[in-house]
Amino acid sequence: MKLAVVGATGLVGQEILKVLEERNFKFDELYLVASSKNVGKEIKYKGKPYTIKSMEEAVKLAPDIAIFSAGGSTSLEWAPRFAEMGTTVIDNSSAWRMDPDKKLVVPEINGKELKTDDRIIANPNCSTIQMVMALAPLHNKYKLKRIVVSTYQSVTGTGKEAVVQLMNERKGIDGPKVYPHPIDMNALPHIDVFTDNGYTKEEMKMVFETRKILGDQSIGVTATTVRVPTIGGHSEAVNVEFHNDFDLKEIRQILENTPGVIVEDDVKNNIYPMPINAHGKDEVFVGRIRRDESQPKTLNMWIVSDNLRKGAATNAIQIAEFLKEQSLVY
């Protein structure tokens, strides 16, 4: 088993290495790959130094699995070249998510759709993953009709430079900026670029990806995505209308029995999901579960998860684990 991590020096790449070690993912050879400016540098994994390789060198080594976290343009150029060498690529960018020929996978939900000839597998958007983790089991029971979601997303979703901007502003330092406005003490209703319909690409990702993962194009989805000054953890206020009515006790039981989901919902004791508690954890946390009293068959939930973990690194590694368990890679 030869494993490559492409984009190993970035925030997600570093998290991938951490999760690989925590989950004791078995491989015989590890190739760490990054941009040309980092080639030749060393990164340690389990105390052993690994020299950063170039994309050209890594392709020739024909790894069995390559986990990409290097951006959409890099993935569009290089993922097919790895796939031609027999590598199964698990891609964290948005490059392949809506390609009709590529699977968009959350293993707990639709991993069973994967086949041996799926050479490029898309990892969904972080905000989509945590939402569908909570909604998929409820969709199976009550059938989703419409989702209204507002997100409160961490600066780590943008990358290292965003964390630097936040911390500089907090210290009163005038440094480089990746956002068009200050992020500290602020909230920006602007994630990714605006599209012609007035929504951002991030908002439309949640629309299209949710339908694709759940395999139901009839679900109505509308989103407002907001960047907030937190580090490590996205939060979402989700309002869900079902075709069939539900019982709140049964909703909680379903969520409590869903692998990868933890219910934190004891408002009398001020217990509810918060990003500060989700940081560094793989689970999706759900709370503030309550009926929408303004219309029938409608539920409100608050969903929180670490965007670098289940929202990116952990989900990608779970896909790799699934491929190995099902003997879909060799």
DSSP conformational letter for 313: I
Please say if 234 is a catalytic residue: yes
- Inter-residue contact 133 to 258 (CB < 8 Å): yes
Contacts of 69 (CB under 8 A, 6+ apart): 5, 6, 7, 10, 12, 13, 16, 92, 93, 312, 313, 316
Summarize pLDDT for 206-226 with one digit per residue, the tens.
Answer: 999 999 999 999 999 999 999
- Inter-residue contact 28 to 1 (CB < 8 Å): yes
* pLDDT score at 29: 97
Q: How would DSSP label each residue in 219-247?
A: -EEEEEEEE-S-SS-EEEEEEEEESS---
Summarize pLDDT for 28-82 with one digit per residue, the tens.
Answer: 999 999 988 999 999 999 999 999 999 999 999 999 999 999 989 999 999 999 9
Whether 325 shows a pLDDT value over 80: the answer reads yes
- What count of residues does the chain have? 330
The Cα–Cα gap between 16 and 309 comes to 8
Q: What share of the chain in percent tops pLDDT 70?
A: 100
Catalytic residue selected from 190, 234, 243, 279 = 234
Domain 127-306 has CATH 3.30.360.10: yes
Mean residue pLDDT across the chain:
97
Contacts of 86 (CB under 8 A, 6+ apart): 62, 64, 119
Whether 197 shows a pLDDT value over 80: the answer reads yes
Catalytic residue selected from 126, 139, 181, 190 = 126
**Domain residue ranges of the chain, discontinuous segments joined by +:** 2-124+312-325, 127-306
- Inter-residue contact 129 to 106 (CB < 8 Å): yes
Whether 330 shows a pLDDT value over 80: the answer reads no
Residue whose pair of structure tokens reads 């190995």 in the numeric block? 324
* pLDDT score at 329: 87
* pLDDT score at 65: 98
Summarize pLDDT for 106-135 with one digit per residue, the tens.
Answer: 999 999 999 999 999 999 999 999 999 999
The Cα–Cα gap between 285 and 304 comes to 5
The CATH topology of domain 2-124+312-325 is Rossmann fold (3.40.50)
The Cα–Cα gap between 241 and 231 comes to 31
The Cα–Cα gap between 79 and 119 comes to 9
Please say if 181 is a catalytic residue: no
Please indicate whether the domains covering 2-124+312-325 and 127-306 agree at the CATH topology level: no
* pLDDT score at 178: 97
Summarize pLDDT for 280-291 with one digit per residue, the tens.
Answer: 999 999 999 999
Q: End-to-end alpha-carbon separation of the chain, Å? A: 7
The Cα–Cα gap between 83 and 27 comes to 19
Q: From the CB of residue 132, how many other CB atoms can be counted at a distance below 10 Å?
A: 26
* pLDDT score at 158: 94
* pLDDT score at 137: 98
* pLDDT score at 232: 83
* pLDDT score at 260: 97
